[in-house]
Structure 1
Amino acid sequence: MVLLKYPSLELVEYKVARIATTMPYIPGFLSFREYPALLAAWEQLSQKPDLLFVDGHGISHPRRLGVASHFGLLVDVPTIGVAKKRLCGKFEPLSAEPGALSPLMDKGEQLAWYSAV
């Protein structure tokens, strides 16, 4: 877990936790496999952040509760899920211009924004 100061992005603290997993990887249930290690690293931090970016889905998840949302609820801190692949919903193709946005929609609900970086 990396704690950075904003806006300088200066490193404040870095913690690692290794926990033996007892649950196999099951698509859509990553948080149950990952949160024990996340929580162990969280508990090592000398100061807690105001916002978390989590490597995984937040509400853009079929159950609207990906690892980012799940962990945020456990530690009572707002989270932003940063996922590598889309699990649900659709979006319109993006233009190649920096800053282009397209809403990720699922069943009439906007879940996230896709952007061209």
Structure 2
Amino acid sequence: MTQSNTAVASFTLAVNRPFKNQNGEREADFINVVIWRQAAENLANWCKKGSLVGITGNIQTRNYENQQGQRVYVTEVLANNFQLLESRSQQQSSNNHSMDISDEDLPF
């Protein structure tokens, strides 16, 4: 929630690439996503880490000055909505086979 009580959620969406690298392994891109209001509340209630979701929205670029006084540029998806792409039973069974990625492995 923001200071004005508006629901907001920020998360990183892992998107698998449709091909394998030279070592025969699949790679993923990690995309920052921001979603607001009722859609953010629904996301918090229905999704968890590893959920298969579809996102609709726009790419936005913004910038800010960090604590060191440097200009930081951010590109992210401003999501309008999301759709669960698997059933609850599929979510539960995929938890047993999900890939564990630590925050240290993320590129940001």
**TM-score using structure 1 length:** 0.21
Structure that is richer in strand per residue: 2
Q: Which has the higher contact order (CA 8 A, sep 6+)?
A: 2
